[in-house]
Amino acid sequence: MNTDNKNVLLLVDDEPANIQVANSILKELYRVRVATNGNEALELARGASPPDLILLDIVMPEMSGYEVCACLKVDPDTRDIPIIFLTSKTEVDDETEGFLMGAVDYIHKPFSPPILKARVQTHLTLHKIQKRLAQQLEAVKAELEAARKIQLSILPSEVPAIAGLDIAARYVPMTEVAGDFYDFINIDENHLGIFVADVSGHGMSAALIASMLKIALAAQSTQALEPARVLTGLNQALCGKFHDRFVTAAYMVVDVKNKSICYAGAGHPPLLLGDKSAVTAHEVTENGLFLGAFPSATYSSVEMPFKEGDWAVLYTDGVLEMTNPTAEQFGAERFRKFLETHRELDADPFVDGLLEELSRWSFRASGREPEDDVTVLAIHFRDLD
């Protein structure tokens, strides 16, 4: 074997006889470097060409093998080098301590040549596999980050500025890429179309379908004033494009001149309306079948007036289904109460406050992973006169 292609082992032992025996067993297969104390071992391990594996004696003067191992494991440059302890100790507690400190194996003295060779080769192979997996994981992370940036780029960079409408939108994915989507259609100076959707499932496939919605929604611009026709057009565009997935969606048109909302849903959570004069909030459900599965599905819309101070909130089911540590969902009733008790806020602090409340409810601050994507789009109607 070419010397340059051999793995490098660092053999650390203060007994010349042990060094001689181990070296005689391994020198034909590996390039063996030798250190006779802990400080020398650390210097060689941290050098320009670190070893691929370290064979480390435990009992040495000045610095024990345990201490050397501890120093190597706290150093980012050496912590991933596999360490095999060489020892005459056979007590379970001794071996347990070594494994807790990060060693991958123990080889007992006196050395058995077949065992020494086999264990060194096994751990070198495992280390190569771990490095390869780590590189692949980094590549996947880079791809997901690129996908996340692409997905964010299809969302509106800002909410429309329309007199009388205070609008805020937030999108909180549970992973780098996710299946929620929202968009606006600026129909004319008096009409604004607002769309929110949720692709079933999570991850890359859900994100790709969400990206399809951007194109499909733009194709509905000629009928953007009619929510039922928009959902029908989206359903026809999506049917047959994917399997084992579906899309829930809601689309509404705000008419600022006539102070009205026209709303339609496709298997989506209800529109939440806040009535300032009644100091209450209530749900509006006008749902057809979810999108992408039934080519003949039909949709209907409902029209409602609004007045100054009222609210309209579109959202995905990640809001209602957010659970606390006891698996209790946030639910529609808490959501409704939050709107009723925060109706005097502007749209941005309202949405931010809701997300903070959801975070507290789910104990996100304590490290609990999110269970679903969350999208919230709120409109606070202002004086239009």
CA pair distance 266, 171, nearest whole angstrom: 20
Same domain as 369, residue 249? yes
Same domain as 327, residue 179? yes
Residues 208-219 have a mean pLDDT of: 89
Predicted confidence (pLDDT) per residue in 340-374, tens digit: 999 999 999 999 999 999 999 998 756 666 677 89
Contact 30, 56 (CB under 8 A): no
Predicted confidence (pLDDT) per residue in 7-35, tens digit: 999 999 999 999 999 999 999 999 999 99
- Number of structural domains (the chain) is 2
Residue 214 covered by a domain: yes
Same domain as 171, residue 129? no
Which CATH number characterizes residue 241's domain? Answer: 3.60.40.10
Residue 147 covered by a domain: no
Tell whether the torsion through CA atoms of 299, 307, 334 and 313 is positive or negative.
positive
Residue 145 covered by a domain: no
Same domain as 358, residue 218? yes
pLDDT band, residue 279 (cuts 50/70/90): confident
pLDDT band, residue 137 (cuts 50/70/90): confident
* Residue where a domain stops, chosen among 79, 106, 136: 136
Residue 351 covered by a domain: yes
Residue 167 covered by a domain: yes
C-alpha distances in Å from residue 167, one per residue of 57, 105, 192, 254: 67, 61, 11, 12
Domain carrying residue 117: 3-136
Same domain as 324, residue 187? yes
Which CATH number characterizes residue 105's domain? Answer: 3.40.50.2300
Residue 73 has what pLDDT? 94
Residue 207 has what pLDDT? 79
Residue 365 has what pLDDT? 58
